[in-house]
A and B are shown apart, each in its own frame.
Chain A
Amino acid sequence: MTQSMDYVETPKKYVSDNALVIGGGVAGMQAALDIANQGYKVYLVEKTPSIGGRMAAIDKTFPTLDCSACILTPKLSEVARHPNIELLTYSEVEKATGHEGNFTIKIRRKARYVHEDKCSGCGECAQVCPVEVPAEFEEKIGFRKAIYLPFPQATPAVYTIDMDTCINCKRCAKTCTRGAIDYEMKDKVVQLNVGAIVVATGYKLFDVSVYPRLGYGRYQNVINAMEYERLINAAGPTHGHLIRISDGKTPKDIGFIQCVGARDVNKGVPYCSRVCCMYGVKNAVMAREHDPEAKVTIYYADIRAFGKGFEEFYEMAKTRFGVNFVKGRVGEVVEDSETKDLIIEVEDINTAQLEEVRHDLLVICPGLQPPDGLETIAKVLKLEQSEDGYLDIEDTFSAPVTTTIPGVFTCGCADGPKDIPDSVTAGSAAAMRATIILSKAGAK
């Protein structure tokens, strides 16, 4: 179905050889680098103050147990240094018209109240800022100031003021030796002309507080996988010490609950989220790594270890790392009001025993969801979404990174859950598709 955005059958004129990549996570960065390395200019738009996406927050990746930030940060530098990539962080796509080869895009550059060309990222401003609020990057377990960098390797290394929490004391401006802070800054709308667009908007985790029976949001020692990543991360709020939220003690008996917010017809997510089995196993392995004395159990319906090295990783989790695998979905979680321990009810179907098991920390591994704002992007670009909210693609077999609008491509989790290698692969594929169009711009 070839339809241009303004629904007028204009002859395809390949006018621009610039590309727009929406989303600065690993897939978007890969796409941007691959396009830029062929000599084309790329505008990389990211709605948060820094590129990096989820990988910046994750501790280790599966199945290799590589340090996520260590793989990511070289890419952050490469993107930042690349002469052909223009980073538009803290920005959002507001309007789009045109067609493949000639899109006109309006981008809103949100006011950071800090000049990008003046800030050196020295951090003196944050040191004097009196306001401390829960940090989104730390999953609200750690804190940041009202003027902040989301994480130390934030790219660009430019501070941002969160005006909702800023009290206007102006200490930061007084401290800054470069005059980078400007409270009068306004949002700026810029217009770009591009030939191809790559959507790489990532994902969010399913909000498991909609399962009252599991106690997330009510019981302090029930956390989700992303909160767990921050707790075990050496750069995280507890410097990598896994602790119970209720009392700061080291947990000795940890349970991981799989298939929550995925494969559930009652909660509108009948699909399998692809990565949770593996990231759950990875998390359990990490728990044993952190504390070989801790008892670690995973409660699952199936272990979907479909990729290269995945089955071996699963075996290793059982044998080398001693993770306990229980086949049975958890029915209910109850809190011991004194110790804040959790008691779960589960049937181990291999033994047909109904068990009440006490854990001192429970980690729920939620399924992936389309991110907030994908609906808006889809509307702006007139992209079709499938029933599950992800971007619809042109054809599963012959055009798996092409959306329903010619000239607009998708990679990473924008069209469905994926792990890091698959996201990066899709990023390169989308880059290729995009540059086919961009290469026509010279030939008119």
Chain B
Amino acid sequence: MDMLLYRGCTAPVRLPAYEAATIAVLEKLGVNLIEFKDTNCCGAQYVESLSRNAFAAMSGRILALAEKEGLDILAICGACSGSLKINKYHLDNDPTLRDEVNSLLADEGLKYTGKVRVRHLLQVLHEDIGIDAVERAVVRPYDGIRMAAHYGCHVTRPYEIVQVDDPENPTILDRLVEAVGGVAVDYAGKTRCCGGPMLAMDEGIASAIGRQKIQNIAEARADGLVTACVFCDIQLTQVQFGEGAIDKRIPVITIPQFLGPALGIDEDVLGLELNKITPSDIMASLQEGRQ
């Protein structure tokens, strides 16, 4: 299966390991990611807040480009996934908006008709690949490492549009953790926001929100935190440094980086040494390889 990998603005610069790990893990599981050239920012948060038309145009262009290639889009960032899906929904249901955006796209010979789908990484892992298939591909399972899952608001909400997992009781990441030999840990406030979007307006509030989440995860005695969104990963890492942070840092690791070693992918390919809080304790839980 081929898909276009939409990186977004932040992943390639601030979390390239997530990008690399996604490519490696999906390739192992039978999904070939094709580089998506000539894209632009999806318009999340900033364009989104200032003009509905501009927001639809920014995301609409990405959707139209994918349509031209005839391939579905894989988004690894929650905000990008949310933006693309929400705009697709509006473009599909509002002909006036669609005509407006298409008139702008026409200059490049692009047109949005709604043919391609937008998938978030969790959807691809859960629906297209299947958790059973992930489990079958395991060569070095973990030995019961306790992992807390943070899904991300834009990944799971609003459910009617994004359709990834039950937003009130999501389980995909937890099941993936278990599939590779980890123990999924429940914690208070699991579906709450990480605070990332708040960095724009008030860093203090953003940090307080992020630290609360880390506090809850620490109370549940998790050994690590697994994420499925660029912003969430960066934010939940960042709040563990600096003032107000808890003593023992909890390693934050993106889901493909967590799955990778269990599937036999080399740690260098997954960029694990780039993680600001070393996941070495998590990796130490990997058992000996099996044939």
Contact = CB atoms under 8 A, between A and B. Distances in A.
CB–CB under 8 A between A and B in the complex?
Answer: yes
A252 B286 CA distance: 47
Interface stretch (A173-181, A330-338, A404-412, A434-442): A330-338
Contact of A335 (B168, B169, B188, B191): B188
Interface in B198-223: 219-220
A292 interface: no
A334 B188 contact: yes
A334 B188 CA distance: 6
Contacts of B188: 334-335
Interface string A209-233: 0011100000000000000000000
A334 B189 contact: yes
Interface in B236-291: none
Contacts of B168: 211-213
B219 A332 contact: no
B189 A212 contact: no
Interface in A325-369: 332, 334-335, 337
Nearest to A211: B168
Contacts of B219: 337
Contacts of A337: 219-220
B127 to A, nearest CB: 22
A191 B24 CA distance: 69
Nearest to A209: B169
Contacts of A211: 168
Interface in B178-203: 188-189, 191
Contacts of A332: 189
Nearest to A218: B186
Main secondary structure on chain B at its contact with chain A? loop
A212 B191 CA distance: 10
Nearest to B159: A266
A211 B188 CA distance: 14
B199 to A, nearest CB: 22
Interface residues of A, number: 7
| Band of interface residues on B | under 10
A335 B219 CA distance: 11
Contacts of B220: 337
Contacts of B191: 212-213
Contacts of B169: 212
Interface in B152-183: 168-169
A335 B220 CA distance: 11
Contacts of A334: 188-189
A335 B188 CA distance: 8
Interface in A194-221: 211-213
Contacts of B189: 332, 334
A335 B191 CA distance: 15
A220 to B, nearest CB: 15
Nearest to B190: A212
A102 B126 CA distance: 57
Interface string A118-144: 000000000000000000000000000
A332 B189 CA distance: 9
A211 B191 CA distance: 13
A190 B169 CA distance: 47
Nearest to B221: A337
Interface string A239-274: 000000000000000000000000000000000000
A332 B188 CA distance: 10
Interface in B80-123: none
Interface in A278-315: none
B240 to A, nearest CB: 21
A213 B169 CA distance: 9
A265 to B, nearest CB: 12
Nearest to A215: B188
Interface string B57-80: 000000000000000000000000
A268 B169 CA distance: 18
Interface string B130-169: 0000000000000000000000000000000000000011
A345 to B, nearest CB: 10
A212 B189 CA distance: 10
A332 B219 CA distance: 18
A335 B189 CA distance: 10
Nearest to B219: A337
B44 to A, nearest CB: 25
A162 to B, nearest CB: 32
A212 B156 CA distance: 15
Interface in A401-430: none
Interface in A56-98: none
Contacts of A212: 168-169, 191
Nearest to A345: B189
Nearest to B167: A212
Contacts of A213: 168, 191
B144 to A, nearest CB: 20
Q: Which of A212, A213, A335 has the most CB of B within 10 A?
A: A212
A436 B256 CA distance: 73
Q: Which of B169, B191, B220 has the most CB of A within 10 A?
A: B169
Contacts of A335: 188
A143 B189 CA distance: 34
Nearest to A210: B168
A212 B188 CA distance: 11
Interface string A133-165: 000000000000000000000000000000000
Nearest to B166: A212
Q: Which of B188, B189, B219 has the most CB of A within 10 A?
A: B188
Nearest to B169: A212
A335 B186 CA distance: 12
A438 to B, nearest CB: 51
B173 to A, nearest CB: 16
A211 B219 CA distance: 23
A419 B218 CA distance: 47
A335 B187 CA distance: 10
B84 to A, nearest CB: 25
A334 B220 CA distance: 12
A212 B167 CA distance: 10
B213 to A, nearest CB: 13
6 contacts: A211-B168, A212-B168, A213-B168, A332-B189, A334-B188, A334-B189
Interface of B: 168-169, 188-189, 191, 219-220
Interface of A: 211-213, 332, 334-335, 337
Given A211-B168, A337-B220, 7 more contacts: A212-B169, A213-B168, A332-B189, A334-B188, A334-B189, A335-B188, A337-B219
Q: Pick the 5 closest A-B CB pairs, nearest first.
A: A334-B188, A212-B169, A212-B168, A213-B168, A334-B189
